[in-house]
Amino acid sequence: MHNANDDRSAPGGGAAFSFVTVVSGLPRSGTSMLMRMLVAGGMPLLADEIRAADDDNPKGYFEFDRVKRLADDKDWVPLAEGKAVKVISFLLGELPPDHAYRVIFIRRALSEVLASQRAMLVRRDIPVADPSADDRRMGALYRKHLWQVEGWLAVQPNIRVLHVEHRDTIARPAGTARAMAEFLGGSLDVAAMTAAVEPGLHRQRAD
> Taking the model in full, what pTM does it have?
0.83
Domain 11-108+158-197 has CATH 3.20.20.70: no
- % of the chain surpassing 90 pLDDT: 65
CB-based contact 40:196 (threshold 8 Å): yes
Each domain of the chain, given as residue ranges in start order, spans 11-108+158-197
The two beta strands, 20-25 and 159-165, are unpaired
What span, in angstroms and rounded, lies between the C-alpha atoms of 53 and 73?
A: 25
pLDDT of 18: 84
Position 163: which residue type? H
| Residue-wise pLDDT tens digits, 136-168 | 888 899 999 999 999 999 999 999 999 999 999
CB-based contact 94:149 (threshold 8 Å): no
What span, in angstroms and rounded, lies between the C-alpha atoms of 110 and 41?
A: 28
Q: Which residue has the higher pLDDT, 157 or 135?
A: 157
**SS3 sequence of 194-207:** HHCCCHHHCCCCCC
pLDDT of 135: 80
